[in-house]
């Protein structure tokens, strides 16, 4: 049995949860709060970040992009009808480019601010950095969100899925990040109807249902979060 150490509103953790579900892999979830720097967790992953995947007694696989490759090599190759990484090298390169866009650039410019300021800081003690959200960081994230939606709108208008004709890791990485922002009501869906239609399509997949049941204590989800016909 695979065990995934995650935080419910870590976008990278959500990306791996979606991947596991799309591949039909049974797994167990263990909630980890990275800011607590739990000794047993740091032994597995000295960087102290989630997600971390452990299979039976094997070595931990740390980081979303590394876990993505691991799951493709151990499970994806045997599922040609629903593999999330294409066969052609150029197409694989495009998927990896977009995955890195969302895991790195989108995270550092948008969701990193939103999730930390509005969710993580609620769960942190004052000593751990908890407290009121920083309005300057939120303002920057909202400006950057609109820039990223323009880029996504171009992709959605010119392709069936973000990287091409088939759904890939790129779609799951993007959707994982948007889902966290959408919980907070921070996605201006009226900006681009193509992005909205793409997200509605992927949000309707069975793999998304567990994510849509996640809740932050004392913070209701936005009206669009679990609405498949938003």
Q: Among 98, 108, 96, 116, which residue's Cα sits nearest to residue 180?
A: 116
Are 29 and 138 within one domain?
A: no
pLDDT of residue 21: 98
Tokens (6 digits) for 72: 């493709």
pTM over 0.95: yes
Tens of pLDDT along 92-148? Answer: 999 999 999 999 999 999 999 999 999 999 999 999 999 999 999 999 999 999 999
Q: In what order do the strands lie in the sheet with 61-62?
A: 27-31, 2-6, 52-55, 61-62
Q: Which residues pair with 62 in a beta bridge?
A: 52
Which of 57, 78, 99 is the endpoint of a domain?
78
Give me the domain span that covers residue 156.
89-212
Q: Give 61's DSSP letter.
A: E
Q: Note whether 107 and 46 are same-domain residues.
A: no
Residues near 199 by beta carbon (within 8 Å), at least 6 away in sequence: 175, 178, 182, 189
* Run of H or E residues at 3: strand 2-6
Q: What is the pLDDT of residues 68-83, one digit of tens each?
A: 999 999 999 888 889 9
Same domain, 101 and 74: no
Q: Into how many domains does the chain fold?
A: 2
Peptide bond preceding 153 in cis form (omega within 30 of 0): no
Instruction: Give the pair of three-digit tokens for residue 222.
Output: 């936005």
Same domain, 106 and 139: yes
């Amino acid at each position: 049995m695979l065990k995934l150490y995650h935080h419910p509103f870590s976008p990278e953790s959500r990306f791996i949860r979606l991947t596991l579900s799309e591949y039909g892999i049974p797994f167990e979830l263990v909630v980890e709060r990275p800011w607590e720097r739990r000794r047993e967790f740091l032994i597995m992953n000295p960087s102290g970040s989630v997600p971390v995947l452990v299979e039976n007694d094997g070595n931990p696989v740390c980081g979303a992009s590394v876990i993505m490759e691991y799951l493709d090599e151990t499970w994806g190759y045997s599922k040609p009808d629903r593999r999330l990484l294409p066969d052609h090298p150029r197409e694989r390169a495009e998927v990896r480019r977009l995955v890195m866009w969302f895991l790195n650039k989108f995270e550092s410019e948008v969701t990193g601010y939103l999730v930390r300021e509005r969710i993580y800081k609620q769960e942190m003690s004052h000593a751990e950095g908890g407290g009121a959200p920083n309005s300057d960081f939120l303002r920057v994230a909202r400006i950057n969100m609109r820039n990223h939606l323009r880029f996504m709108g171009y992709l959605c208008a010119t392709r069936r899925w973000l990287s091409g004709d088939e759904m890939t890791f790129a779609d799951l990485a993007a959707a994982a990040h948007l889902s966290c922002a959408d919980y907070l009501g921070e996605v201006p869906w009226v900006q681009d109807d193509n992005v909205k239609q793409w997200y509605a399509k992927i949000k309707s997949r069975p793999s998304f249902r567990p994510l849509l049941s996640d809740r932050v204590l004392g913070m209701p989800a936005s009206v669009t979060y679990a609405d498949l016909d938003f």
